[in-house]
Amino acid sequence: MTACWPLQGMSPAQKSVLISLADNANDDGVCWPSIATIGARTCLSERAVRNALRWLEEVELLKSHQRFGRSTWYTITP
């Protein structure tokens, strides 16, 4: 999580989603919170969370792993 704080060039929503994911991540940077959980923790709407996740993935700070019929898991790479 410490590596995420100094990152610049993102909106407050993007930063809060990244920090929320980092707070949930294990030592390998892997976590699997739901969109609803991230939204509740960051006080953001589902749409804002999805937009932030999409942006974080585009700039390669995050990689999402889709599991059909199961939750999505994320790897943070700050």
Q: Which two tokens stand for residue 69?
A: 């019929």
Strands 30-31 and 73-76: antiparallel
| pLDDT tens, residue by residue, 8-17 | 899 999 999 9
Q: Is the pLDDT of residue 60 over 90?
A: yes
CATH topology for the 12-76 domain: Arc Repressor Mutant, subunit A (1.10.10)
| pLDDT tens, residue by residue, 19-58 | 999 999 999 999 999 999 999 999 999 999 999 999 999 9
pLDDT computed for residue 23 by the predictor: 93
